[in-house]
Amino acid sequence: MHKEITIYDLARELNLSPATVSRGLKNHQAINKNTKKRIVDKAEELGYRFNTFASNLRKKKTNTIGVIIPRMNSHFMSTVLAAMEKVASDAGYNIIISQSMESMAKEEVNAKTMFDNRVDGLLVSLAYDTVTIDHFQRFIKRNIPVIFFDRVHESDESVAVVIDNYKNGYDITRHLVDQGCKKIMHITGNLKRNVYQERFRGYQQALQDYNIPYNVDRLITGELNELAGSEAGEKILGMDEKPDAIFVSNDVCAASCMRTLKQGGIRIPEDIAIAGFNNDPISRMVEPNITTVNYPSYQMGEIAATHLINHLKGGVALHTTNKIILKSELLIRESSLKRK
């Protein structure tokens, strides 16, 4: 095995002091241009690698931000991550991304790994089944900032970046009622999570305000993926009393459900109106285009990362606010327009 090259090896090869080599590698202004070039060329020739870990230990910072998300396989999350990566890179930070795969147990392991890797701060969107944030207390106790986004846990010790899911759930349901719908089904994710719980609460409140009884048989909870949408469609096709509208908590599931219903002879929106959520590209690629909520995913990633980095650089106190609510809006398209 080859020996790891050190600055002492470079110094010996170049007949320079280790201090001069160290300054040259760091592009120090006290070292002249020709000497810097000799140092850099020799380092490249011998395969020298800068010891980032040792340097970070000395500085007590890593310029690294940890990101824990449920899954990467969605347009929403990939857009959030693209924004975070851009903000972090522009500010001189790297990001480490891990997936909980919708498991609190995996999320706990990810959090410990991030802590052991000495991340300067943490951005988190919680798993489906996370019921406590005790595994993030080690960060909070060490004053390592934690910001939750999208799927959040609201507390006095952390910041949450969200949209108004309650209002959006209410607005979608009210829109469907305005189209003459009275048997509105809701397909959503795990109600332990704030995003789905709040959309469900908005759905229920709209029904109540329009004197439409809530029927538990018109609630389906699941993974909100393509398979879940197809299975929900099959279930609806088998119902004696079918809904006249469906509010689905994401567009992928809504599109899959709509396809299954259309294959079963259901006309959209004449027989059943459909609305989704997130404004994913698929909502504009299927026919009819799906009514949805424009979720500002890039802005969410941008604001969460910017707020964290501003805090790390001393520009803003993390707890100036405990909740940042981003603007979102209902986008009405053909899939829900019974009254054209």
Provide the 8-state DSSP code for 290: P
Same structural domain, 192 and 286: yes
Question: Same domain, yes or no, for 205 and 247?
Answer: yes
CATH number for the domain that contains residue 203: 3.40.50.2300
* Residue 318 counted as domain residue: yes
Q: Are residues 277 and 203 in the same domain?
A: yes
Domain region containing 45: 7-50
Same domain, 245 and 176: yes
140 shares its domain with 238 = no
- Element at 160 (helix H, strand E): strand 159-163
Report the distance separating Cα 96 and Cα 119, nearest Å.
Answer: 9
Examine the domain organization and report whether 313 and 289 are in the same domain.
Answer: no
Q: Tell me, what's the pLDDT at 317?
A: 56
Do residues 156 and 305 both lie within one domain? yes
- pLDDT on residue 73: 87
CATH number at 16 reads 1.10.260.40
Whether 57 maps to a domain, the answer reads: no
On whether both 88 and 151 belong to a single domain, the answer is yes
By CB neighbour count within 10 A (0-12 exposed, 13-18 middle, 19+ buried), where does 219 fall? Answer: middle
- Asked if residue 140 has pLDDT above 90, the reply is no
Whether residue 326 has pLDDT greater than 70: yes
> Do residue 217 and residue 267 come from a single domain?
yes
Predicted confidence (pLDDT) per residue in 9-22, tens digit: 888 999 999 889 88
Looking at the structure, tell me whether residues 25 and 170 fall in a common domain.
no
Task: Please indicate, yes or no, if residue 321 is contained in any of the structural domains.
Answer: yes
In the prediction, which pLDDT does 30 show?
A: 83
- Number of domains the chain is built from: 3
Kindly state whether residue 239 falls inside one of the protein's structural domains.
yes
Q: Give the span between the Cα atoms of 112 and 136, in whole angstroms.
A: 8
Q: What is the mean pLDDT of residues 281-307?
A: 96
Q: pLDDT digit string (tens) for 143-172?
A: 899 999 999 987 777 889 999 999 999 999
pLDDT at 222 over 80: yes
Q: What string of DSSP letters covers 161-225?
A: EEE-HHHHHHHHHHHHHHTT--SEEEEES-TTSHHHHHHHHHHHHHHHHTT----GGGEEES--S
Q: What is the reported pTM?
A: 0.83
